[in-house]
A and B are shown apart, each in its own frame.
Chain A
Amino acid sequence: MTRPGPLGIIAEVTHRCPLHCPYCSNPVDLVAAGEEMTLLEWLDILVQARDLGVAQLHLTGGEPLARSDLVGVVRAAHDLGLYTNLITSGISLTPNRARTLKDAGLDHVQISIQAADAVLSDRLARTPAYARKLAAAAIVKALDLPLTLNIVIHRQNIHQIDEMITLARDVGADRLELANVQYYGWALLNQAWLLPTKAQVQRAERSVRSAAARWGRQLDIVYVPSDYHEGYPKPCMGGWGARQALVTPNGDVLPCAGAARLPGLPLENIRRAPLAWIWRDSPLFNRFRGFDWMQEPCRSCDRRTIDFGGCRCQAFMLTRDAAATDPVCRHSPSHTVVTECCAAAENAASAMHHPRQTTATPPTVTGRSRSPSP
């Protein structure tokens, strides 16, 4: 039987972005604007995606609104029957733009917020964005479009969980996604500044549980745990090449945002090969499918069908072996790499009480300082 196509496509339509978040999930080598695919190229991908059975299109970036032709992508996706999800900073979302997108068939908007207050939020984004984000949320609500607020949580904002939940209720969000930062690219560079303590994580989780019990009917709260503290890996992407494909601004098609950095995997590009072949037949998408590639302890572990060995990119970054067990797993022979980071975070936490904390410059010098120019 032919392998079913992906359920979702994550479309990074541009890497341009007005924000400079220290945990940006984009690759450290950003795609320049001049290499971006045209609208026609995206439309061709959407047709191929529909033919493969894709049901969802996630429009992300960078900042997808940085593309003036975004509405064309939304309209085409809608006409092809895809559920369209706009993942945006909200910065440049005007009422007119939002109306145009809704009329084109946009199904859902996800707005990222950096923290529950303007001072911290703007400090994290390195740009005065908070007020504009709330304005964007109000625009979305005024159009009666379903809205998710998305907040990446980490050491600098994890104390604000209750306020974040209140904020989501105040803006009338349908969903709130509270995602512990994942340590790739920019976030890995800034890990010492981002990794919370175990006690902080546990406090956050208590807040989420209690809020979900109280408000779960009106607000769907999605919590993405801190895999460094869980002791077990996340089922990254639902398994390699199992459910979703990511397309970068220049047409690379990847099983996940980090896959391009894995060694020995030939990159595939939609400008050179059809989506169906890349998904079904390419060495890239087949490399970590199924269970045969696994080493011990994954190979004989009952959890292999739950977490699929965890994240290949995290395994590579922390062990230099992309086929190793994800080291966040307590059964990984390299698990001490993670426990040592967590131990350092516990010690740093006590240093946080030092008066110098307010003057110390956070290591966000590694944050993306500007958008790539053409």
Chain B
Amino acid sequence: MNTETIAAGTEDGRRPALRRHFGLRWNDARQGHLLVGPETVVVLNDTGAAIIRLCDGRHSVDDIVDALSTAYTEVNRDEVVSFLSRLYRLQLADE
């Protein structure tokens, strides 16, 4: 099983979509969001979880940045893009 800790924090994506065998779960005991798949658990911070929720194949990267900007101040687009590219590289999501 692979575990990765990734924080939202580069490569552009169009309409990112989480691969269908992954799901976002709140873990009460850990008080944190986890991205869980058959052999993978990824520990997410709140921003990471907020991005993942928008990775549904309908929101563009700009949409995601805009949506985050309503919830967080000082959203850095490069960090969002960087986070997404890690999701692609880990084969958790596709552009």
Contacts and interface: CB of A to CB of B under 8 A. Distances in A.
A290 interface: no
Contacts of B20: 146, 174
B37 interface: yes
A222 B39 contact: yes
Nearest to A51: B29
Interface residues of A, number: 28
A81 B21 contact: no
Interface string A1-37: 0001101100000000000000000000000000000
A8 B23 CA distance: 15
Interface string B9-26: 000000000011101011
B73 interface: no
Contacts of B23: 83, 107
B27 A174 contact: no
Nearest to B29: A53
B21 A146 contact: yes
Contacts of B37: 83, 108
Interface string B81-95: 000000000010010
B22 to A, nearest CB: 9
A56 B2 CA distance: 12
A54 to B, nearest CB: 8
Contact of B19 (A85, A107, A220): A220
Contacts of A8: 1, 41
A83 B25 contact: yes
A110 B21 CA distance: 11
A81 B36 CA distance: 11
A50 interface: yes
Contacts of A174: 19-21
> What secondary structure prevails in chain A residues at the interface with B?
mixed
Contact of B38 (A51, A108, A243, A244): A108
A175 interface: yes
Contacts of B38: 56, 83, 85, 107-108, 110, 146, 148, 175
Contacts of A85: 38
A342 interface: no
Contacts of B28: 50, 53, 81
Contact of A4 (B30, B39, B91): B30
B51 interface: no
Interface in B56-92: 91
Interface in A235-275: 238, 243-244
Contacts of B91: 216, 220
A104 interface: no
A81 B26 CA distance: 8
A108 B19 CA distance: 12
A317 interface: no
Pick from B26, B37, B38 the residue with the most CB of A within 10 Å: B38
A122 B21 CA distance: 29
A52 interface: yes
B21 A108 contact: yes
Contacts of A323: none
B34 interface: yes
B1 to A, nearest CB: 6
A4 B36 CA distance: 17
B78 to A, nearest CB: 24
Contacts of A52: 29
Contacts of B26: 81
B43 to A, nearest CB: 9
B19 A238 contact: no
Interface in A166-200: 174-175, 177
B3 A243 contact: yes
Interface of B: 1, 3, 19-21, 23, 25-30, 34, 36-39, 41, 91, 94
15 contacts: A4-B30, A51-B29, A53-B29, A55-B25, A55-B34, A55-B41, A81-B25, A81-B27, A83-B25, A83-B36, A107-B21, A148-B21, A148-B38, A175-B38, A177-B39
Given A8-B1, A50-B28, A146-B20, 9 more contacts: A5-B29, A7-B1, A7-B3, A7-B41, A81-B26, A107-B21, A174-B20, A217-B94, A244-B1
